[in-house]
Structure 1
Amino acid sequence: MTTELLNTLYVQTQGIELRLEEDSVRIRHPDQPGRRILPLRRVNAIVVYGHVTLSTELLTRCAQDGRTVTWMSRTGRYLGRLDGAVRGNVLLRHAQHQAHDDTETRVAIARQVVAAKVRNSRWIILRAARDATPTPQTAMRARANELAQALTKIPDAADIDALMGYEGNAARLHFEALRHALRPDDGIPPFERRERRPPTDPVNAALSFTYGLLRSLVHGATEQVGLDPYVGYLHGIRPGKPSLALDLMEEFRAPLADRLVLSLFNRRQLRAEHFDALPGGAVNLTDDGRTVLFQAWQELRDKPATHTLAGRDVPTGLLPTMQARLVARHLRGDLPAYLPWTAT
């Protein structure tokens, strides 16, 4: 199935071919008659999953227009992207590198990233606890209290290793609480812990897929603002690792991705028939399951979210771009600190 969402074309049907036809994308499946034409002016990004072919002419045109093309695995794992020529002010990127090389500045930014992750994780846990029965409610509030205690320690973290320890512990507490918040349909096994490579149950499969959508959104936001997505502060610098994008993802994981997955299971929108068990124990979303997630992701991106610093509501899909701009303002010296987004 091919789905056009918020000017992003998501293509998941295996074997589809995308070709440039004048100022349009021609979409064709070799085993199905007919074709679909989509004007390029309606598309500002293309995301493809698995075996999908794009012609050289289409890729060239996307690069020239600044239209991103992102490749994902069928399970939603990020593989790579095409962005065209490098955009942005070289002085901003130079300041970004200098901030990474300055230990005090790097740790200060990383503290804000981890604190935002913990606050937003605690927020979703407390919201979920309000509607829970007494036993899971008690467990979730206990995890929320532990996260509150962790928040008091983060300002005193002296280095990145300490902050990574707090971040890892916060993730563990978060998923322990998420287990109690889930009330899935019959046929969905209980969620026990986070399993990524590969996901071994439906909840983990949905989480991994949604994190892929979030990563693509945040990665694009950093490049749109002119930052280097590969120079981060909490996650450091490693070949092929978009560290800044991963940094900014931390504050959005719980309130966007995890909350979306939680809602889809608890509302029975994701059900057992939306998942396939593969040899070796891996679990994947079916095409129909991915369509459910795409549609929910579209609705979430359109939904207004409060941005305290901006003093107004903005579409949720624009939050990563606004935060990338705040990173840039801090690096330029316009803000004394990076100010992360926290859910309200």
Structure 2
Amino acid sequence: MDDAEPLTRVMALHALVYCERLFYLEEVEEIRIADQSVYDGRRLHEQLPEYVELTSYTLESERLGIKGKVDVVRTIDGRWVPFEYKKGRARLSRDGRVQAWPSDEIQICAYALLLEEHFERPITEGRVYYAADHRTAVVLVDEELRARFAETVRRAAELRRSTQRPPVTSNTNLCTNCSLAPVCLPEEERLLLEVSAEPAQRFFPADREGSDLHVTSPGATVRRSGGTVIVEERGGERKEFPIHEIVSISLHGHVQVTTQTIHACASEGIPIHFFTTGGRYVGSIGNLAGGVQRRLRQYAGLTDPAMVLYLAKRLVTAKVESQLRYVLRLTREKQRETVESEIEVMREAVKHVHRASSLDELRGWEGLAGRAYFTCLGTLTRDDGQLALDGRNRRPPRDPANALLSFWYALLYRDCVRAILVVGLDPSIGFYHQPRSSAYPLALDLMEMFRVTLCDMILVGSLHRRQWSVGDDFVQAGKQCWLSPEGRKKAIELYERRKQDKWKHPVIGYSLSYDRAIELEVRLLEKEWSGAPGLFARNRIR
């Protein structure tokens, strides 16, 4: 065996026989998620009956190309017999005989061969105990099973060398209990291949577990004590947050964070984001997801001019149509004549976006639609006095409405960066925005789909509800305007609350929060260059 070829985990072979796609995600792209089923399986091993001899071995073999831990080896009539304990049910043959599942047979065979090589003792059988129905299956380690094992190892090596994910399994039952279904999104890919009246299974969680921690108090310090993150404010107030309930930490302005906190967050995969006092995004500390294959596919896809233009057209279409629909919604009960010309510009832009033959042409129509859109918003918020949106201005924002938009866009950018890193893509390689600043182009691309729903709609709604005070919530210095500490807290609360609102996604066919929708769109985007195109950028506001 080639010295450079990594040894394959026995559990990875188990996954390969179960589903090649699962093997590739776990072993090649290094995506591993421990869901409740995984924890139940671990607990089963920890709670084995006292009569079970816990003789275990951690073994590896260059010749076999595998490594693994044999949890239980029992002696029966002088023979060594490897045992495996599974929480599920045994397989029954047509005549009612108890059998092990094919993936469990390969696992037993791998352990048997490791034991034979290291201890020079013949292993002729293994056994698998299934806790759900209290049945034990005998697995004969014969020549036929050994040949299947060798073929499985060969296939594992072949998949390791590939940059393409295997297709989704045709056996839908396998996906139901798979911990990586929210990453694989098999049901979404099947929607491209078949039309079904049956509702999609909920493989992608509707909500994200945990919450974002925002620290806005000037001079505050973020510390870590055991499994707790502690925020100490300058006045002595102290707040504690269990680290397992935190998804990300955002530090606004002059906030300190200890090295121990950074270390703990890095270990737990919790990104730390930094913002200026004025709300500008500065940067993040976080781990990149493993799996170079994903980024190789991304680079190949996003260096293809045809793919780039195709994705850009889908993105801009989604953005402009959402802007148009929102303006039409706002003017349902008002005199539409005041913005009719701008609405026509946006309608015309939608038509031309579909026919655009270059990115420059696409940007031209997007720019025209954007100017018309913000003119509409300005007209429709004219009654809000000093808080009315008078066009779009930034760097720095010059009025309260634009200060709010800039702040919310910065939070949205943070969420897009986080989603991209969670999926394992490179945020520096995009398809529409050019790398002209320190901002990640792919994050800027993804933002376009959510500006209306997560930022613009909050702005107009909060202005109409008179939720802002010019004197208390904003600081005006010359031509610059930014949020006061009190205004930042209010803006963060509105944004985070909006992210938890649910809506029915057109691809998966069921409701999920906007927070989860951002990650879902990144995963659907990845499918565009991974063999399942046509799912990205389908969402529109009603």
Deviation at 1:6, TM superposition (A): 5.7
User: Which structure is richer in relative contact order (CA contacts within 8 A, separation 6 or more)?
Assistant: 1
Deviation at 1:89, TM superposition (A): 2.8
Correspondence for 2:466: 268
Write the letter of the residue equivalent to 2:328: L
Contact 1:92 1:331 in 2 (8 A): no
Cα distance between partner residues in 2 of 1:117 and 1:88: 31
Mean CA deviation greater in 51-60 or 162-171: 162-171
TM-score by length of structure 2 reads 0.59
Correspondence for 1:74: 277
Match status 1:16 vs 2:227: no
Question: Paired residues, what number?
Answer: 334
Cα distance between partner residues in 2 of 1:185 and 1:108: 40
Correspondence for 2:318: 116
Cα distance between partner residues in 2 of 1:55 and 1:184: 47
Contact 1:10 1:46 in 2 (8 A): yes
Q: Which runs of 5+ in 1 are unaligned?
A: none
Correspondence for 2:262: 59
Deviation at 1:20, TM superposition (A): 1.1
Contact 2:474 2:487 in 1 (8 A): no
Q: What does 1:1-344 align with in structure 2 at a 5 Å threshold? A: 7-30=211-234, 32-84=235-287, 86-132=288-334, 134=335, 137-182=336-381, 185=384, 188-238=386-436, 240-336=438-534, 338-344=536-542
Write the letter of the residue equivalent to 2:216: Q
Write the letter of the residue equivalent to 1:143: E
Cα distance between partner residues in 2 of 1:247 and 1:73: 23
Write the letter of the residue equivalent to 1:48: L
Cα 1:277–1:286, aligned 2, differ >3 Å: closer, same or farther?
Answer: closer
Deviation at 1:189, TM superposition (A): 4.9
Q: Which runs of 4+ in 1 moved over 4 A?
A: 183-186
Higher helix share: 1
Q: Deviations over 1:89-120 (max 9, x none)?
A: 32221111112211111111011111111001
Write the letter of the residue equivalent to 2:249: I
Correspondence for 2:147: none
Write the letter of the residue equivalent to 1:146: V
SS at match of 1:179: helix
Contact 1:274 1:285 in 2 (8 A): no
Cα distance between partner residues in 1 of 2:279 and 2:384: 23
Cα distance between partner residues in 2 of 1:155 and 1:337: 17
Cα distance between partner residues in 1 of 2:267 and 2:349: 47
SS at match of 2:342: helix
Cα 1:174–1:34, aligned 2, differ >3 Å: closer, same or farther?
Answer: closer
Cα distance between partner residues in 1 of 2:326 and 2:472: 25
Contact 1:8 1:44 in 2 (8 A): yes
Q: How well do the aligned residues superpose, as a CA RMSD in angstroms?
A: 1.8
Deviation at 1:14, TM superposition (A): 0.7
Cα distance between partner residues in 1 of 2:406 and 2:356: 29
Cα 1:312–1:98, aligned 2, differ >3 Å: closer, same or farther?
Answer: same
Correspondence for 2:55: none
Contact 1:114 1:166 in 2 (8 A): no
Contact 1:323 1:341 in 2 (8 A): no
Cα distance between partner residues in 1 of 2:311 and 2:415: 21
Cα 1:201–1:300, aligned 2, differ >3 Å: closer, same or farther?
Answer: same
Cα distance between partner residues in 1 of 2:487 and 2:382: 18
Correspondence for 2:48: none
Contact 2:222 2:257 in 1 (8 A): yes
SS at match of 1:130: coil
SS at match of 2:449: helix
SS at match of 2:450: helix
SS at match of 2:507: coil
Contact 2:431 2:441 in 1 (8 A): yes
Contact 1:275 1:283 in 2 (8 A): no
Deviation at 1:88, TM superposition (A): 4.0
Cα 1:296–1:131, aligned 2, differ >3 Å: closer, same or farther?
Answer: farther
Q: Deviations over 1:44-103 (max 9, x none)?
A: 11011110000011011111111011001122211101112x204322211111122111
SS at match of 2:272: strand
Cα distance between partner residues in 2 of 1:107 and 1:236: 13
Cα 1:13–1:333, aligned 2, differ >3 Å: closer, same or farther?
Answer: same
Cα distance between partner residues in 2 of 1:338 and 1:24: 38
Write the letter of the residue equivalent to 1:170: A
Cα distance between partner residues in 1 of 2:450 and 2:412: 8
Cα distance between partner residues in 2 of 1:168 and 1:143: 13
Contact 1:106 1:234 in 2 (8 A): yes
Deviation at 1:327, TM superposition (A): 0.5
SS at match of 1:27: strand
The structure that has the greater radius of gyration is: 2
Contact 1:215 1:249 in 2 (8 A): yes
Contact 2:210 2:245 in 1 (8 A): no
Q: Deviations over 1:199-236 (max 9, x none)?
A: 11110011101111111111111111111111110113
Write the letter of the residue equivalent to 2:392: R
SS at match of 2:357: coil
Cα distance between partner residues in 2 of 1:170 and 1:330: 26
Cα distance between partner residues in 1 of 2:292 and 2:437: 20
Contact 2:387 2:470 in 1 (8 A): no
SS at match of 2:448: helix
Deviation at 1:127, TM superposition (A): 1.0
Contact 1:96 1:331 in 2 (8 A): yes
Q: Deviations over 1:18-41 (max 9, x none)?
A: 1111111121123x1342222212
Q: Which runs of 5+ in 2 are unaligned?
A: 1-208
